[in-house]
Every structure is written in C-alpha cells, then in structure tokens.
C-alpha cells in the first residue's frame, strides 16, 4: 500500500491525506519582527485610560445597582475584566452581601427580567451562591413565568444567558431556559432582531471565550448611544496591545515548528500549529501566562502528531512499542520503529527537557516534570486502548468509551501542562488535576463528544476506532440522529455539572478553574455545527485572523 510522500509502505496502514496548513509562513516574521513592539505613547495612553476606568468603581456607582451591574457586564464583555478583577470582586461581594442580608437590591424600580438575570449571572460567575429562587418573583400566582413583552429582547437574552448557568435539578432555571429559548427562536425571523438573537443563542456568555467575543461586543457597545467612551477606547487599545504579545508568541513557536521540520519528517500528520496555539490562548490571554501559553502551544501541536500516529499511521504492534517506550522513557525501545515515529518520540523528550529548564529556577522542576510526563503517559495509554479496540474490531459500550474519552479528549493534559508553568503550581494542585476531578471529567466529556460528532463521519471512511456516536447507536440500538440527541443531552448535563462544581471549588486558584471551563468553551467553538474546525483550518481562519492578525 503506497501513500503520499512514501509515508505508508507495504504495511497496511490507516493513512489519510490531511490538507496542509493554510497559514504557511504567515506568522514566522513575528518571531523577530519589530512590528510586535508596542509604541510607548500607546502604552502610556492605555495606562491613563485604565486608571480612569478604575476610578469609575468609586461611589456613586454602587448607589445605582442597575448601572453598576451593566458597567461590570460591559467590562467583562469587552475583554478587559482581568485588569479590574479585584474591583469587580469587591463590588460584587458588596452587592451579594446587601442582597443576602436584607434583600435591599430588588425593588419596584428595577424589577425586570434583564436586571434579575444579570444580577444572578454576574454573582454566580463570581462564585457566589445566589439561589435561582430569585426568579420566583417573575412568576404569577399559577406558578408560571409572567409574559415577557416581545420588545424586551434584552430581557429575554439576559434570561437565556442566566439560565445557561443551571445545574442538575434546578427546575426554575430549566423553565427559564425553555421559555427564553422558545421565545427567542420565535422572534429570530424578525430581520431587525435576527442578528442579535442568533448571536445570543449561538454564543451565550457562559459558553463564550472572552477574547474572541470582545470584538463583537465592541461593535455593539459603540452602537449604543449611551456607551462609555473611555471604557470602549481602553478596550480597543488593550486588545491591540495584547494582540502584539500574542503575535510574538505564535511567531516564536512557529519558528520552532519550522526548525523541527515536522511537516516533512512526520508527513502523515496534521500541520496545525496555529490552530494548536488558539487553545492555550483561549485558556488565558493575560501577559503573565505568556511562557506557559507558548509551551502549551507547542505541546498541542505535538499532540496532533501523536494523535495521528495512533489513528492514521502506526500498526498495533508499533504502537505497543511506542507506548512502552514512553512509559519507560527509553529511547532504545523505539529503535526498530519507522523514523517518523522516532521524530515524534524525540519531540516529547525535547518538551520534557525544555520544561525542566524553564521550571528549574523556581525549584519546581522536581515535581512538575514528573506530573507532565505522567499526563503524557496517561494520554498515550488511552490512545493505545483505542488502537486495540480498532485492531480487534471491538465497539466499546458507551460508558467504556466515555471513561477512556476523558483522557483522549486531551483536556487533562492541557490543564496539567499550563499549570506546570505558572506561579501557583504546587504538588497538591497537580495531584488534584491528575485524579480527574468531576469538573475536569465533565469538560473532557464535552470535548470528546463534540469532537466525535464533528469528525466521526470523516474518520469512519477509513479503519478507525468507533466514536461516541457509533458506541451510542450500537448500545441503545438507535439511529444516528437519535444518538446525536442522546449525546447532546449528555453534553448539556456536563455543562450543568461544571456550573455546580464551579461554585464549590473555592480552595483552588480561580484561574485554574477558569482554564478548565475555558477549555470546554473552546470545544464549543472548535466543533460548532458538527464541524471539525481544528482539522479543517479554513473553518477557523476568520476566527484566528480576528485574534492574531487584524487589529482594531
């Protein structure tokens, strides 16, 4: 059996020709280009505006609760909340205390769907245990939600976004979700409202990546006659300043990727470094995580090579040797394997060595490197399970597949990797991640299942392990369409678990918990509308351009 570039030899291999990267050398100049430098005048202007926005948190803002909530919402939607986190936390805590102590916040003047929904969502997202019973005030004597006027699209959208924070058994939020979803869909045919409504339904705040949503909300904010010009100007400047940093990062890792020559040395695999970098960027865009972002970007790129080695190249015998070599960290075991597989092995070894160099100065390399190695080993063992299933022609049960899919989603490895590179990395935190806590399992199932629904038809055209879709169809003797419905419900249930767990994990760094949720959000973006936008780079082109190429 022959294949392009001589990758597939006479051995029968499940090869596939992936499209080349659409980016070429687009980002390579950023590695050494002075264009990523930010003008000192721009930095100074941004600092002045930042201080001006910070002053807006002072009284009398807290005297107008509606104004305060809308102001915080704007800051978050415009992507600059990381600058004002302490001010936001302090303000929301004050609001929460006023609400829980004497219920002083709600009165006849502000009693509407938008206000209540925004109050609920902002407090919940800040980790406050505000009860969904707050919405009972919007019900009539029969226990049904009062009619929402058609013109109150803002109220419906806010209610829908709040309802996306529902957890298991949260009946009133289930009612709110069904009501808002149904009403918004019925209004979506109105040409003047369609864009706003469809965007809300497609990207509710709880399932959105703030960095990518900021541009849309800047346009929306600007169209509002009462918009905050100082905040908007600062948000635009900040977006462009951060974009320069991110350009520098993608430039540096692109240079490494090119120098490693993976495209020629591992020609059967996807060349998706740019798409790989988007995942750590989705987890955190802040400047202080720059080194971790670049390292994880490299890791994600190499994971794509690994994934395709197990899925689209190696025989089961070769993969057994490769997996054993990683488990033992012994290069001698891969001596008999094809050269391309040795290249992938060497890439993993190189990444471990680089992590050790980066973390030695902090004194953490002695425990972070073993945790990183362990996470890689766990992933490859899970890949090997799938390879065995494929080799044996075995279709696992839905639950068997789901359990293994938590690891093959790669989200636990992503979380471990970035955590290893930041200041709050401790053995306890890394142990927590490695034990696959409920929130990581839920986010990983979302990633695994959305990926499967997007890619299984393409993958099943060749010899490939059964996906969640096939496992579900076989176990429950249902059609593909019915399997999609079943799996979608599972995904929604996982979001409910995430919402519940988010409120419980107060003893962990909030950044870590946010990263896990952001990974689930990125899965929603990457596999939207049953499309594998990671593999099919054209589908993610506009998204990446808006983040990394087009300034505001």
Among the residue ranges 120-129, 182-191, 402-411, 470-479, the one predicted with the least confidence is 182-191
Q: What rounded mean pLDDT belongs to the chain?
A: 92
Segment 391-407 mean pLDDT:
95
Is 535 in contact with 308 (CB distance < 8 Å)?
no
- pLDDT > 90: percent of the chain: 79
At which residue do the structure tokens 């309802």 appear? 163
DSSP string, 123-168: HHHTT----GGGGGGGB-TTSSBPPPPTT-HHHHHHHHHHHTT--T
Closest CA to 164 of 542, 545, 492, 537: 492
Q: How confident is the model at residue 1 (pLDDT cuts 50, 70, 90)?
A: very low
Q: How confident is the model at residue 449 (pLDDT cuts 50, 70, 90)?
A: very high
Q: Measured between alpha carbons, how far is 402 from 448 in angstroms, rounded to an integer? A: 8
Q: How confident is the model at residue 270 (pLDDT cuts 50, 70, 90)?
A: very high
Cβ density class 145-169: b for 16+ within 10 Å, e for less: beebeeebbebbbbbbbbbbbbbee
Segment 483-502 mean pLDDT:
97
pLDDT at 17: 84
Helix (H) or strand (E) holding 292: helix 290-312
Q: How confident is the model at residue 63 (pLDDT cuts 50, 70, 90)?
A: low
Q: How confident is the model at residue 298 (pLDDT cuts 50, 70, 90)?
A: very high
Segment 23-51 mean pLDDT:
94
Burial of 127 (0-12, 13-18, 19+ CB in 10 A): middle
pLDDT in tens, 237-254: 999 999 999 999 999 999
Whether the predicted pLDDT of 3 surpasses 60: no
pLDDT at 61: 56
Give me 395's structure tokens.
């279709």
Is 119 in contact with 105 (CB distance < 8 Å)?
yes
Q: How confident is the model at residue 5 (pLDDT cuts 50, 70, 90)?
A: very low
Q: Measured between alpha carbons, how far is 424 from 386 in angstroms, rounded to an integer? A: 34
Q: How confident is the model at residue 316 (pLDDT cuts 50, 70, 90)?
A: very high
Q: Measured between alpha carbons, how far is 162 from 156 in angstroms, rounded to an integer? A: 10
pLDDT in tens, 275-294: 999 999 999 999 999 999 99
- pLDDT > 70: percent of the chain: 94
pLDDT in tens, 528-541: 999 999 999 999 99
| Statement: the pTM of the whole predicted model exceeds 0.75 | yes
Whether the predicted pLDDT of 155 surpasses 60: yes
17 or 338: whose pLDDT is higher? Answer: 338
How distant, in Å, are the alpha carbons of 93, 264, 420, 542 from that of 273? 41, 14, 21, 16
pLDDT in tens, 192-234: 888 889 999 999 999 999 999 999 999 988 888 889 999 999 9
What lies within 8 Å, CB to CB, of 384 at 6+ separation is: 310, 319, 320, 323
Segment 156-182 mean pLDDT:
95
pLDDT in tens, 107-153: 655 578 899 999 999 999 999 999 999 898 888 888 888 888 878 89
């Amino acid at each position: 059996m022959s294949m392009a570039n001589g990758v597939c030899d006479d051995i029968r291999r499940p090869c596939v020709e992936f499209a080349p990267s659409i980016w070429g050398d687009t980002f390579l100049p950023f590695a050494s280009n002075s264009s990523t430098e930010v003008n000192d005048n721009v930095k100074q202007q941004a600092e002045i505006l930042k201080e001006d926005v910070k002053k807006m948190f002072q009284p009398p803002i807290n005297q107008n609760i509606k104004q305060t909530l809308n102001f915080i919402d704007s800051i978050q939607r415009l992507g600059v909340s990381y600058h004002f986190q302490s001010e936001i936390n302090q303000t929301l805590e004050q609001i929460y205390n006023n609400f829980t102590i004497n219920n002083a916040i709600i009165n006849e003047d502000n009693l509407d769907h938008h206000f209540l929904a925004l109050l609920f969502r902002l407090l919940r997202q800040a980790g406050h245990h505000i009860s969904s019973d707050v919405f009972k005030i919007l019900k009539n004597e029969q226990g049904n939600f009062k009619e929402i006027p058609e013109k109150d699209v803002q109220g419906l959208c806010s209610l829908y976004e709040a309802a996306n924070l529902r957890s298991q058994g949260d009946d009133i939020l289930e009612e709110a979700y069904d009501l808002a979803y149904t009403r918004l869909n019925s209004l979506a045919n109105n040409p003047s409202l369609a864009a706003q409504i469809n965007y809300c339904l497609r990207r509710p705040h709880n399932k959105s990546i703030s960095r990518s949503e900021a541009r849309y909300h800047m346009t929306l904010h600007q169209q509002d006659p009462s918009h905050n010009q100082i905040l908007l100007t600062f948000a635009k400047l900040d977006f462009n300043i951060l974009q320069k940093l991110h350009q520098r990062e993608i430039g540096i890792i692109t240079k490494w990727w090119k120098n490693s020559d993976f495209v020629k040395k591992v020609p059967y695999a996807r060349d998706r470094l740019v798409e790989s970098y988007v995942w750590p960027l989705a987890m955190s865009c802040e400047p202080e995580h720059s080194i971790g972002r670049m390292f994880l970007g490299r890791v994600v790129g190499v994971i794509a090579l690994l994934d395709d080695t197990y899925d689209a190249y190696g025989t089961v015998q070769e993969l057994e040797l490769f997996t054993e070599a990683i488990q033992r960290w012994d290069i001698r075991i891969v001596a008999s394997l094809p050269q391309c597989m040795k290249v992938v092995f060497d890439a993993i070894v190189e990444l471990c060595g680089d992590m050790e160099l980066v973390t030695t100065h902090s004194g953490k390399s002695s425990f972070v490197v073993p945790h990183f190695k362990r996470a890689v080993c766990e992933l490859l063992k899970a890949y090997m399970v799938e390879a065995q299933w494929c080799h044996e022609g075995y279709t696992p049960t839905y639950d068997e597949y789901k359990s293994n899919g938590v690891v093959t989603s790669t989200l636990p490895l992503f979380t471990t990797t970035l955590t290893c590179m930041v200041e709050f990395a401790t053995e306890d935190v890394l142990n927590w991640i490695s034990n696959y806590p409920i929130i990581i399992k839920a986010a990983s199932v979302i990633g695994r299942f959305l990926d499967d629904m997007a890619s299984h038809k393409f993958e099943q055209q060749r010899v490939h392990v059964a996906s969640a879709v096939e496992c579900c169809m076989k176990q429950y003797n249902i059609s593909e369409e019915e399997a999609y419905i079943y799996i979608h419900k599972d995904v929604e249930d996982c979001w409910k678990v995430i919402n519940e767990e988010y409120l419980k994990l107060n003893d962990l760094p909030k950044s870590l918990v946010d990263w896990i949720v952001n990974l689930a959000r990125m899965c929603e973006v990457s596999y939207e509308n049953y499309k594998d936008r990671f593999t099919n780079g054209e589908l993610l082109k506009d998204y990446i351009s808006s983040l990394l190429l087009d300034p505001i």
